[in-house]
Structure 1
Amino acid sequence: MLHALVVSAVLLAALKPATGAALQARAAKHVTLDVVNAKLAPDGFSRSTVVVNGQYPGPPILLTKGDSLSVTVNNRLTDPTMRRSTSLDLDGLFSTTSELYDEGSSFVTQCPIGPNASYTYNHGPIDQAGSFWYHSQLSIQYIDGFRGPLIVYDPEDPHKALYDVDDLTTIIQMGDWWHNTTLSPTMLPQYEATGIIPVSDSSTVNGVARYNGGPAVPWSVVNVVAGKRYRLRLINESARNVVTFNIEGHSLNIIEADGGNLVPHTVNALDMLAGQRYSVVVTANQPVANYWIQTPFVGGSAANNLNQNASLARAILRYAGAPIADPTTPMSAGPFTGSLVEADLAPLVPQAAPPADVNMTLDLEVIAGQAIWTVNGVSFLPPKTPTLMQVLEGASTEADFNVTENTFVFPPNKTIQFTFPPNDDDDAHPLHMHGQNFWLVKPNTTDVINTVNPIKRDTAAAGANGMILRFSTDKPGPFHFHCHIFWHYQAGLATVLLNNANATRAEVHPTPAWEALCPAYSALPADLQ
């Protein structure tokens, strides 16, 4: 279940309409996240977790466009079988230049936060709105439960006339779930040795799941009133799984992707890769009853984990006046007709992708039989000294970094085009860009190149049909660019994009707290890192 995050009183006011002038004067929102180990059983199987404030998913962070955000992370991890350091990534939020180091990418923009330590991240004023999320960016730690929603409401939302309800009850989070409590120390090395990614036991919807042979955990329920229109904010918080979202008997009117407003586009179902977000408007226009919210997933062969059953990934849409009961229709895992084709999406405000100044081809390859992924022949290894620290100390060219850091250096105010050739492996890689979004010039779902009005987002698939994207280097700093299948990320499928090293040194101003992170982390024994 979702629980409101305990924050300063002004956060509650963030959900109230405000004028443009009021947005400029909004006070900072102060949030405290206590990262702890807790025994939880989202699907009925009890295990130790790494979670925020003792709950999974983590408590919502709710903001209004124009807010500044201050997040204090208190590391209270004690379980010796799990990673005890941590970090925070506010996924999809763009950091301001002077606070660039607060983006939370371990070993790119900061060192991790050790146990019994605290660190405060500062962002804003936030000139974005939409559906985002937060998670640990250390190793594969967020698989253990450190993940939750971050919503930025827009009082002047151009789609406001399309829906009646947009609140805590309409946030829908999906996430893969493993029973094994030693994912980082045992399953990650096993994956690295064999190349076989562990298969999740179940897939949660708002923190609830079932698995083969497990207890009948009560389904998560989304309550609606006949005749009303609901903005559902869908977030795929998986570390691997591709989720298909469908509501029995109801159409989905897509209005947002990764924080970008879209021309409304109606489908019956949509596929979501790890890290992707959509807002859809659903009208409660069917007879009063209970309907399945179906979220079947793909993420490895179920033969490798007999607990897994994709048809058990679901929740209930319950109309007011309907009995407290399961829907009477059979549980299905699809396929569904009328599914989204990403290439059919268009931005609400058309914007042409600027002509490319620099063209690069990025080949994604895996070494057969091993968990070693490469980008243009290089498997990413996190540096001991974070990229940003190296830049502040003078690093400016690609030769200044170790080859295994896979750092691409770009001049300022240019447009870069990345072309991803078709790959023949089984996964569509959800490539995620930190700190900025990109023009999706050719999605994986089409052969057509669209430079006239492509959508902009921060996570998209490089798969069997290839992909082309463009982005601007108008914001200085190092930005992580990686696969959001975190098993692949840990196996080397990542790069760092360094824009304008000189401006980074001139405009980024580290605090003593940031400078203290690396010495403190380096001094920790290995079992506390």
Structure 2
Amino acid sequence: MCLKEYHFDVSYGYFSGDCHERFSILVNGMNPGPEIRVKPGEEVVVHVKNNMPAESTSIHWHGQFQRGSPWMDGTPYVTQCPIAPMDTFTYRFHANDEPGTHWWHSHTVGQKSMGAAGLFIIEAPDGEQEPFAYDEEMPLVLHEWYHKGYQELVHGLMSAPFQWAGNAESILVNGKSKDFCMENATVTDLDVSVCEACPYEVIEVEQGKTYRLRVANFGPLMMLSMGIDDHPLTIVEAEGHYTQPKTVNALEINVAARYSVLLKADQPIGSYWGRLEIRHRNADLWGHFIVRYKGAPVEDPPSSHWTATNSSNLTEGFVVKGVLPEIDQHVNERWSMDNRDEVVGLANHTEAPPPADRLIYVNGTHWKENDHVVWKINGDMLKLPDAPLLWLSKADALTEEDRRMSNIVDVKLGEVIDLAIHNSYAINGISEQHPWHSHGYDFWVLGHGYGSYDAAKDETNLNTVNPIKRDTATLLPARVVEGEPQDVEGWVVVRMKFDNPGMWLFHCHIDWHLAMGMGFTFSVQPELVQPPPKEFDMCGRLPELFAADEADGVGVSETEAGKGVDVENGHGDEVVSALATSGACPGGQKCLRDAALIWGGLIVTVTALLRAV
């Protein structure tokens, strides 16, 4: 089987996708970062060089299950120590066995908001026909873009008094946006010609052809609604799973979500606006791109009304109404949630979920604790320890404090569990939506509702026949429910089959909520996991721990580890890995400590801040 090898250079740089130059984190000098494109099951090797002198980093392979390679999930303090400044780490794993649209991003708090992210595409196997036809494919990466650095934003979130990060200044499409510049130029009486340096993203199409758009939301906060004037979109894939084709006027796409949609170029030759609006937040923010037919004049489309009036055609159930340049900012007062579950799995490509063995209630609450504002799950916020949980578990060194800080939920291999995830109001009285994401697994999204989930009453309304399977699910905010004295909070039920041993995060994918503690950890019999690769760096208490193990004769030798064959990933690959048995890090590197993050004159030690609350 083919091996695909990549080199990532993570470094500081300046980026001005919306004509506002700002300090950023770039991978190979790009934003978005380089695309990875592989076939199902192919081995992927990515050498990541952290060329940032002031902070550590990591790369999470979002949507890749890491069967047989849980050490490669890229989650600091869960599966690995962060990659130290000026150090190199090599990720080696097999891509999922199913084609689909995925992505990679830094999992070090907030870094993806500064540009450390890119697409990860698994193509259909050679000779295999996908259940839909198209002529060409194009990426459509959506990313709300802040002009402040994440260090300043995270510092405000962790401060007392609390300082909210606020809304972004732009929505980038494939790294481009002209809207901020045009608005700023108009307000300041500048010549708008300066905005030619940051043009709208242009998708060039040929009349009569069909295009597959791989749409992904890389942003840190906002759910988006996307539509193209006079061009309905047909959903055919969501996060690695084919769907029954569904034609929509507007695609609702949450943070971390991905879709494939078909765009038919069947309109008169010309240019057409692609439009982006915010959902669930009062944000004076919108975005645009252009779909331009070959042969059309190179000019902006005409400014005209665009309305998607059929709410049953919306993937997240909202009525959308917009006008350029002034978009109706009160659109999210007209919510209609009744049709959000109409995207279902495709027949003959969808595995019906097995019956659940048990039900776990997941309750997210917003708290003020010691003058700090935090998110808690079932009463505890996520605060990871000083060493990776998977390491500590393999060494039988997890303390009760580690378990409490990490919100660990123990699961037996093979269990099938329903999670009923409940929303609640924030302490400011605002109800927010939350995109919940699972590492190591995807899940069936069985249904949504309002109030408190009651299995006896609500279970019959769940879809257990052909539910969509994905790795990110939206938890709805409050809405008006007839007969209730006040708005009622939402719930979502997902079903997970735990067949992948390891330590796996389950968290809200809003960057700022995760930084405030909104997540927990599934411990799925980690004793069954192969030992870590011998080149792994250590951090926190690991050097002392494994030095003691060496003195006691504890550990796995390289020879012993090399004899193992990993049957979990189905590829029969020889596992050459061993627990490091020395207190010194490989290659003479010093062991990683908490790295200071520098933004101008501001110095923030993020891990210390996280532990402070």
**Bin of the TM-score, shorter chain as denominator length:** 0.7 to 0.9
Distance 2:215 2:254 in 1: 11
Distance 1:58 1:335 in 2: 36
Amino acid at match of 1:179: H
Residue aligning to 1:207:
175
1:462 to 475, 489, 500: 475
Alignment check: 8 A CA contact 2:345 2:469 kept: yes
Residue aligning to 2:156:
190
Residue aligning to 2:374:
372
Distance 2:140 2:435 in 1: 20
CA 1:415–1:158 in structure 2 vs 1: closer, same or farther (change >3 Å)?
Answer: farther
* 1:414 correspondence with 2:415: yes
Residue aligning to 2:388:
386
Q: Over residues 35-89 of structure 1, what are the superposed CA-to-partner deviations in whole Å (9 max), with x where a residue is unaligned?
A: 01111101000111101011111111111223210011001113x5xxx211001
Residue aligning to 1:362:
362
Matches within 5 A, 1:253-292: 253-292=234-273
Q: For residue 270 of structure 1, report the CA deviation from its aligned partner.
A: 1.5
Q: Over residues 490-522 of structure 1, what are the superposed CA-to-partner deviations in whole Å (9 max), with x where a residue is unaligned?
A: 100011111123312xxx231122244666453
* 1:142 correspondence with 2:112: yes
Matches within 5 A, 1:256-335: 256-298=237-279, 300-302=281-283, 309-310=285-286, 313-330=287-304
CA 1:472–1:525 in structure 2 vs 1: closer, same or farther (change >3 Å)?
Answer: closer
Give every structure 1 segment of 4 or more consecutive aligned residues whose post-TM-superposition deviation is greater than 2 Å: 155-162, 195-198, 214-217, 297-302, 329-338, 349-352, 368-371, 398-402, 421-426, 443-448, 515-529
Distance 1:225 1:89 in 2: 36
TM-score (norm 1): 0.86
* 1:509 correspondence with 2:531: yes
Distance 2:7 2:307 in 1: 38
Residue aligning to 1:14:
none
Q: Identity percentage over the alignment? A: 29
Say which is worse superposed, 67-76 or 210-219, in terms of deviation.
210-219
Distance 2:403 2:96 in 1: 34
Residue aligning to 1:423:
424
Q: Over residues 148-192 of structure 1, what are the superposed CA-to-partner deviations in whole Å (9 max), with x where a residue is unaligned?
A: 1111110355535421112xxx100000111113x22x2212123
Distance 2:343 2:245 in 1: 8
Distance 1:270 1:377 in 2: 35
Residue aligning to 1:89:
60
CA 1:297–1:281 in structure 2 vs 1: closer, same or farther (change >3 Å)?
Answer: same
Residue aligning to 1:114:
84
1:100 to 64, 70, 80: 70
Alignment check: 8 A CA contact 2:203 2:292 kept: yes
Q: For residue 251 of structure 1, report the CA deviation from its aligned partner.
A: 0.9
Q: For residue 258 of structure 1, report the CA deviation from its aligned partner.
A: 1.0
Alignment check: 8 A CA contact 1:113 1:521 kept: no
Distance 2:597 2:221 in 1: 26
Q: For residue 402 of structure 1, report the CA deviation from its aligned partner.
A: 3.4
Alignment check: 8 A CA contact 1:112 1:521 kept: no
Alignment check: 8 A CA contact 2:278 2:285 kept: no
2:5 to 30, 34, 44: 30
Residue aligning to 2:16:
41
Distance 1:137 1:474 in 2: 24
Amino acid at match of 2:363: D
Alignment check: 8 A CA contact 1:93 1:128 kept: no
Segments of structure 2 that go 5 or more residues without pairing to the other structure are 186-193, 316-338, 478-489, 541-584, 599-604, 606-613
Alignment check: 8 A CA contact 2:384 2:402 kept: no
- SS of alignment partner, residue 184 of structure 2: coil
* 1:436 correspondence with 2:446: no
Residue aligning to 1:490:
515
CA 1:125–1:62 in structure 2 vs 1: closer, same or farther (change >3 Å)?
Answer: closer
Amino acid at match of 2:227: N
Q: For residue 336 of structure 1, report the CA deviation from its aligned partner.
A: 7.6
1:164 to 135, 145, 156: 135
Residue aligning to 2:201:
220
Q: Which has the higher contact order (CA 8 A, sep 6+)?
A: 1
Alignment check: 8 A CA contact 1:395 1:401 kept: no
Alignment check: 8 A CA contact 1:296 1:333 kept: no
Distance 1:399 1:331 in 2: 59
Distance 1:483 1:293 in 2: 28
Q: For residue 301 of structure 1, report the CA deviation from its aligned partner.
A: 3.8
CA 1:323–1:436 in structure 2 vs 1: closer, same or farther (change >3 Å)?
Answer: same
Amino acid at match of 1:57: P
Residue aligning to 1:180:
148
Alignment check: 8 A CA contact 1:68 1:123 kept: yes
Distance 2:397 2:341 in 1: 39
- SS of alignment partner, residue 107 of structure 1: coil
CA 1:363–1:158 in structure 2 vs 1: closer, same or farther (change >3 Å)?
Answer: farther
Q: For residue 124 of structure 1, report the CA deviation from its aligned partner.
A: 0.9
Alignment check: 8 A CA contact 1:366 1:373 kept: yes
Q: For residue 393 of structure 1, report the CA deviation from its aligned partner.
A: 0.6
CA 1:333–1:89 in structure 2 vs 1: closer, same or farther (change >3 Å)?
Answer: farther
Say which is worse superposed, 516-525 or 411-420, in terms of deviation.
516-525
- SS of alignment partner, residue 105 of structure 1: coil
Q: For residue 441 of structure 1, report the CA deviation from its aligned partner.
A: 1.1
Amino acid at match of 2:391: M
Alignment check: 8 A CA contact 1:353 1:441 kept: no
Distance 1:91 1:371 in 2: 28
Say which is worse superposed, 360-369 or 370-379, in terms of deviation.
360-369
Residue aligning to 2:575:
none
Amino acid at match of 1:309: L
Alignment check: 8 A CA contact 1:437 1:471 kept: yes
- SS of alignment partner, residue 162 of structure 1: coil
* 1:130 correspondence with 2:109: no
Distance 1:456 1:125 in 2: 18
Alignment check: 8 A CA contact 1:473 1:500 kept: no
Alignment check: 8 A CA contact 2:204 2:293 kept: yes
Q: Over residues 383-419 of structure 1, what are the superposed CA-to-partner deviations in whole Å (9 max), with x where a residue is unaligned?
A: 11111011111258x9473312101111111101110
Amino acid at match of 2:373: A
Distance 1:350 1:524 in 2: 44
- SS of alignment partner, residue 342 of structure 1: coil
Alignment check: 8 A CA contact 1:113 1:517 kept: no
Amino acid at match of 2:351: Q
1:522 to 592, 609, 612: 592
- SS of alignment partner, residue 367 of structure 1: strand
Amino acid at match of 2:473: A
Superposed CA RMSD in Å reads 2.3
CA 1:178–1:394 in structure 2 vs 1: closer, same or farther (change >3 Å)?
Answer: same
Alignment check: 8 A CA contact 1:443 1:460 kept: no
Segments of structure 1 that go 5 or more residues without pairing to the other structure are 1-24, 303-307
Q: For residue 325 of structure 1, report the CA deviation from its aligned partner.
A: 0.6
